[in-house]
Chains A and B, each alone.
Chain A
């Protein structure tokens, strides 16, 4: 670059020291360059001198504008309030869902295994005398409608009942089949009322059964099955509990008293085929519960499965709440520092 092109930078003292020395030497030896430098310096001063310095206005307006923040801004008072309220609501909702509810587990599990209603509405308002003839109709009808004389005897027309079209208990007009045991259904009736699904009872079903002492599982389950008219036998790591179908609900409930029924299949495809026990005096309508015995210390996966969807929702809510709280804390820290 020629010296002439650096004269403006020389005047502005923007040249590095070595280059400045070169240019200075050139100026000292060349009167024409000196004249140019003087010209540039004069023009520079003129440009700067004629720049007016107008008096600024609008400072207060700008300060006021900076105070106005959108309502959702975390830095504003309203924003903090809104975000704090949102976080509080999320936390309340999350904890309300996390609190254990009475019968939650029964609702979850029994709604999968029970809620069977096979009788048309017209047939589900039997007289008290007819009740004993149709002992195995499970229904979700309210217990208030259940006749006190309901029988627990094995059904005589199970197959016939199974072949009938299923009907939601919601449409049964509150009628309770005569065979429904009040004690059986009372705890789960509310779930049935809200569950209109109707599943077939498989002949065999499979559960994962968690107990503190696996060695005693057979004896414990025998103690459960015997009063219900069934029996239990051990088969490797499983215990087969054979009971009347109409006592399935009782059996599952009683099993929970001696261990944890941690998984109940939703459909028959999960049911495990087991040979029917010869010599039994049970009626045809029986169900074999294959209880896979697990020690109590094993992972409690089933409860997660049962409430899987809900836990995801809860996790999302808790996550949102934490994010909202973190944002709130961050904004407060930034604000007050």
Chain B
């Protein structure tokens, strides 16, 4: 399994996976069902990490309804998954504004999914410290951490999705990890 629990950076080109596409990267409405089946899990998890599992289904559904309307505008300049994440991010922000004051990070410690240990001894990692450290990040820093470390986007994809320069993504990640290291100073030796 991918250590990130996602399809990660290994993405299917949208034209390859969409047999009805008339042009590379230009899926048609007839491809929608296959698009949903292929990307629903990633979109749902993307939403769950920002809203929690209760609202993730609503956000994911809204994401694909919006994608259905805007599919003709998709020009194939980015991965289809990244394009869907962009739509999902807007819905997550809207739903977060309506229903939650803060974007939760409790998903890190929730028990509704299986954690992936990737060889790290769970006993030496303080989950609660990590959750607190992530919660204390600014919204901008936490968002790039989510996009890159969890959702598996490259710097460029994260920059496109957020509408910021790729250098800004790099800078935010640097500072986010600087803050995390400071917060987790007490356990870092164990991670090594």
Interface residues of A (CB under 8 A from B): 5-9, 12, 14, 38-40, 42-59, 61-63, 65-66, 75, 334-337
A-B contact pairs, 27 of them (CB 8 A): A8-B177, A9-B155, A40-B177, A42-B192, A43-B191, A46-B191, A49-B3, A51-B49, A51-B108, A51-B116, A52-B5, A52-B109, A53-B45, A53-B113, A53-B114, A56-B45, A57-B53, A58-B61, A59-B40, A59-B44, A62-B40, A62-B57, A63-B36, A66-B64, A75-B29, A334-B30, A337-B30
Chain A residues closer than 8 Å to B118, beta-carbon distance: 45, 48-49
- B164 proximal to A (CB < 8 A): no
Contact B155 A14 (CB under 8 A): yes
Q: Which B-chain residue is minimally distant from A63 (CB atoms)?
A: B36
CA distance A50 to B173 in the complex (A): 18
Q: Please pick, from B33, B41, B107, the residue contacting A63 in the complex, using a CB distance under 8 A.
A: B33
A82 to chain B, nearest CB (A): 18
Q: Please pick, from A8, A45, A46, A335, the residue contacting B173 in the complex, using a CB distance under 8 A.
A: A8
- B180 proximal to A (CB < 8 A): yes
CA distance A57 to B125 in the complex (A): 30
Question: How many residues belonging to B are interface residues under a CB distance threshold of 8 Å?
Answer: 60
Q: Which A-chain residue is minimally distant from B44 (CB atoms)?
A: A56
Chain B residues closer than 8 Å to A53, beta-carbon distance: 5-6, 45, 113-114, 116
Interface residues of B (CB under 8 A from A): 3-6, 20, 28-30, 32-33, 36-37, 40-41, 44-45, 48-49, 53, 56-57, 60-61, 64-65, 68, 107-118, 120, 125, 127, 130, 134, 145, 148-150, 154-155, 170-171, 173-174, 177, 180-181, 184, 188, 191-192
Give the number of residue pairs across the A-B interface with Cβ within 8 Å: 155
CA distance A54 to B52 in the complex (A): 10
- In the complex where A54-B48, A61-B57, A337-B28 touch, is A43 in contact with B180 (Cβ < 8 A)? yes
Q: Which A-chain residue is minimally distant from B151 (CB atoms)?
A: A51
Chain B residues closer than 8 Å to A61, beta-carbon distance: 57, 61
Contact A62 B36 (CB under 8 A): yes
Chain A residues closer than 8 Å to B180, beta-carbon distance: 43, 47
A68 to chain B, nearest CB (A): 9
Contact A337 B20 (CB under 8 A): yes
B112 to chain A, nearest CB (A): 5
Chain B contact residues, majority secondary structure: helix
B103 to chain A, nearest CB (A): 15
Contact B174 A8 (CB under 8 A): yes
CA distance A57 to B29 in the complex (A): 23
Contact A9 B173 (CB under 8 A): yes
B24 to chain A, nearest CB (A): 17
Chain A residues closer than 8 Å to B148, beta-carbon distance: 12
Chain A residues closer than 8 Å to B64, beta-carbon distance: 62, 65-66
CA distance A42 to B184 in the complex (A): 11
For A12, A54, A65, which residue has the most chain B Cβ atoms within 10 angstroms?
Answer: A54
Chain A residues closer than 8 Å to B28, beta-carbon distance: 334, 337
Contact B36 A52 (CB under 8 A): no
Q: Which A-chain residue is minimally distant from B116 (CB atoms)?
A: A49
Chain B residues closer than 8 Å to A55, beta-carbon distance: 112-113
Contact A49 B117 (CB under 8 A): yes
Contact A14 B154 (CB under 8 A): yes
Contact A334 B3 (CB under 8 A): no
Contact A46 B120 (CB under 8 A): yes
Contact B115 A335 (CB under 8 A): no
- In the complex where A5-B171, A12-B155, A65-B65 touch, is A51 in contact with B150 (Cβ < 8 A)? yes
Q: Which A-chain residue is minimally distant from B185 (CB atoms)?
A: A39
CA distance A40 to B111 in the complex (A): 26
For A45, A66, A337, which residue has the most chain B Cβ atoms within 10 angstroms?
Answer: A66
Contact A57 B108 (CB under 8 A): no
CA distance A46 to B192 in the complex (A): 11
Chain A residues closer than 8 Å to B57, beta-carbon distance: 57-58, 61-62
Contact A66 B68 (CB under 8 A): yes
A234 to chain B, nearest CB (A): 68
CA distance A7 to B170 in the complex (A): 10
Contact B174 A9 (CB under 8 A): yes
